[in-house]
Amino acid sequence: MSEYSVLEMLHKKEDESVFILLDGAVFPAMQRVYSYEMSPQVSPIYYGTRHGASLDASPCLYQPSGESEVWNCEEHWRTQGVVFVSACSYFEVLDYLKSLISVRLPNNQLAYWRFYSPEWLSKIMKALSDEDFSKFNGPVNQWAAYVDGRWELYDAVSHSSVETNKEEGWFQLSQNCIEKLKNAKKEEFYIRLEEKLASEISNVSFEGLCREDVLKTVAIAESLGFKSNYEIEWFTVTNYKYPGLMSRSDIKKSIENIEVAALERQLQVEEAIWGIKEERTD
């Protein structure tokens, strides 16, 4: 756990201010901000944009005053937003954040991205090239995100002049960045899958496994039409937990019948495991 509050860790200069960008889609941002101070400088960044219909789910930019209680309540909001430092004014920062609501993909399409989620920001910072990192920061001189029980800080290069009046979608993710994000997501899945296996099968069986074994089993699952993470996890865990059953000729025939939906095949296997045939309503 982090020993210090984020305010103590930031490298804030005298002419800079600290801002908090809260995720209004998963957290009652405006309500909480007004509990920290009576007349806060806060605004949903969707306000005045084409996303106005989704104002209730908008991220909210908050600039705490010296009287704000927000720093005494970090545990209530630190997993629901990010902190950053900037020398620009509140409204310059607000305009800049509005330009980042959507990001441009390599195929030139626009997409929402939750860069204000601590976990997402952490992944993005690790995936951006140095050049794109500099572009993305704009008026921000430092970011802070609370990930895995601690604050991660990302220092940016200060710019003498920053263009904040940009059109939404100006920032584009490179194909290399997209691949890094996909790989990070895939690695997270395998870590969760291995944790699931560790909890479901015997220690002896798990100790004999390596990542290559898991990759091979996942490849088999995908070749048989098990596509979602849930389906792949089920197939993999069941294979290692019930190896005798899964090698039975009738079960193999059922599981390999790709003309039958993955969920239906899963139900057939589970009926064999538990010896119970559920009543169907279809």
pLDDT band at 161 (very low <50, low <70, confident <90, very high): low
Q: Could you give the CA distance from residue 116 to residue 81 in angstroms, rounded to a whole number? A: 6
CB atoms within 10 A of CB 84: 26
Q: In the predicted model, what is the mean pLDDT of residues 174-185?
A: 94
Q: Of 115-119, 192-196, 206-210, which gets the smallest average pLDDT?
A: 206-210
In this predicted model, which residue has the larger pLDDT, 205 or 137? Answer: 137
pLDDT digits (tens, 9 = 90+) for 106-126: 999 999 999 999 999 999 999
DSSP string, 104-117: E-TTS-EEE--TTS
Which residues face 57 on adjacent strands?
A: none
pLDDT at residue 164 greater than cutoff 70: no
Q: In the predicted model, what is the mean pLDDT of residues 177-185?
A: 94
Percent of the chain with pLDDT over 70: 94
Q: Of 16-30, 85-99, 127-141, 195-209, which gets the smallest average pLDDT?
A: 195-209
Report pLDDT for 259. Answer: 93
CB atoms within 10 A of CB 41: 17
Percent of the chain with pLDDT over 90: 79
Q: In the predicted model, what is the mean pLDDT of residues 61-70?
A: 95
Report pLDDT for 1. Answer: 40
Report pLDDT for 42. Answer: 97
Report pLDDT for 276. Answer: 52
Instruction: Let me know: does 21 contact 61? Beta carbons within 8 Å.
Output: yes
DSSP-derived letter for residue 275 is T
Would you state the structure tokens that stand for residue 36, as one six-digit string?
């920290």
pLDDT at residue 178 greater than cutoff 80: yes
